[in-house]
Each structure stands twice: as structure tokens, then as C-alpha cells.
Amino acid sequence: MSIIDSFDDKTKEILHPSNLIDKIEDFPEVTILVFKERFFNYLHEDFGMKVIGHINAGLFIPVYKLKFHDQEFAITRTTIGGAGTAGTTEELIAMGAKKILIFGTCGTLYKDILKGHFVIPTAAYRDEGTSYHYVSPSDYIEVKTADKLCSVFDELNIPYVKGKTWTTDALYRETEGNMKKRKDDGCIVVEMECASIMAVGQFRNIPIYQFLFADDSLDGTQWDRRKIDDSSKELMERRILELGFKIAEKL
């Protein structure tokens, strides 16, 4: 059986997230999901966070509740990759998450998308396996929440670019040939989670919002790390984290 034949909406899953995860009373409506552990160093400095649960999808990771301005949010981190992030998302939904905002880095397929620039994906090329277990097979999955997120960025007067993303499972197999195919197809960035998590959200009827910030570049004959000094990196990350909360307030 091909991976594209994996979607089964006729029978129930044998293991459901609720078999392992208990619903949490008064779980915040909006959950923020991030990748960088350093974000939590900043949060511990600035907020009085409270542990309200744990993620069990491969790693035992705390889920925190905190207040930003007058609104409570849940926040936790996830691993790189669609399968792990999909499992984390499933567990957050089982806990009681009603909306999820996820943000992290991406590689650019166009070097004029500068490091730190924001990207809102509108569709994701399904070069991974997880999404085929949640939605019918297709080359791309539409990011149905993109227009809403764009409107929030516009309201906050934050510049961004929007376009298709290439979701891959194989970090070290982003070949020149495949990169060119994706560019020819209209993709502007590459990452490892978008197709998977959007499939989970659409299957579970939970809106998932995602924005990306540009990091390395694949647009050239060699990989460009585009490294910046540590002090500039910390300032950029703190601003991105604060921006994430401002966006979450408006979802």
C-alpha cells in the first residue's frame, strides 16, 4: 500500500490521545507552540509561569500557563519534524486547546527574503508522511487560517510575505533538484512541520495558525547559514516572542 492510501476516515483510531491525556480544567483557549528552548529562558525571566500539564509525545515537556496583558495562554515547546509536532498538537487538543499558534524558523528558497523576515504559509507541499493519515492525498494542503493570520499582521502593521512552503521530513536531503522543483512550483520557503500540523488541525476541527521567520538560505550553489552575532540574535528572538503573544491576543 502506498503512503497516499493511508488516510482512513471509515474506522476509528485504535489509540486516541484521550487514552493517554486527561482534559485540563480551565485550559486557556489559545496555546502557543514554539521550538526554541531559549524562548523559555526569556519567559522565566519576565513571567510567573505555572506548569499545568506535560506533553508525552516522545519527550516529557512541561505545558505552562501564563498571563500576557490580561489574557491567559498556554505555551509549550515541540520537537523538529512533522510527526513529533503532530503528536504534540494532538495532546494539546486533548488537554483542551481550542486554537493553536505555532511559529519557528524556516529556510528560504529566495535569498532576498532576509534573515528574520516573517513568512505566512498559504499552502504546504506534502513531502512528509504524517499528513496522509489525516487528510485525503494531494500534492499540497491549503493553510485555511492564512487569511485570518494575514489580517492580524496587517492590523499590527507587521510586514510579511506570504506563499507556499515545502514541508519535508528529510533535513539533510534537501537536494538541488528538489529545491528547484519546489521553486518552479511556487514555494518560497522550506520547513518540516506545516503540512503535518495543518492536517491535524483540519481533521480535528481546531484552527492552527502558523508564521515563520527566515533563517538559512538554500538559494545558491551552497547552503548559506546567514549567522548573526549572539546579542543581535537574542534581541531578535525576544521581539519575535513578544510578537507571538500580541498575535495570539487577536486570534
Coil, strand or helix at 60: coil
Average pLDDT over residues 115-133: 93
What is the rounded distance in angstroms from the CA atom of residue 188 to the CA atom of residue 99?
A: 26
* pTM given for the model: 0.93
User: Which residues fall within 8 angstroms of residue 236, CB to CB, at 6 or more apart?
Assistant: 116, 228
pLDDT grade, residue 113 (50/70/90)? confident
- Answer whether residue 86 shows pLDDT above 90: yes
Contact 104, 81 (CB under 8 A): no
- Answer whether residue 249 shows pLDDT above 90: yes
- The residue with greater pLDDT, 87 or 219, is 87
- CA nearest neighbour of 115 among 247, 235, 245, 249: 235
With the C-alpha atoms ordered 30, 36, 37, 40, is the resulting torsion angle positive or negative? negative
So what CATH class is 17-249?
alpha beta
- Answer whether residue 229 shows pLDDT above 50: no
Q: What pLDDT, on a 0 to 100 scale, did the predictor assign at position 34?
A: 94
- Answer whether residue 188 shows pLDDT above 70: yes
Percent of the chain, pLDDT > 90? Answer: 69
Cell numbers given for 18? 484521550
Percent of the chain, pLDDT > 70? Answer: 91
Domain residue limits, the chain: 17-249
pLDDT per position as a tens digit, 16-69: 999 999 999 999 999 999 998 888 888 877 777 899 999 986 678 999 999 999
Q: What pLDDT, on a 0 to 100 scale, did the predictor assign at position 36?
A: 83
What is the rounded distance in angstroms from the CA atom of residue 54 to the CA atom of residue 68?
A: 21
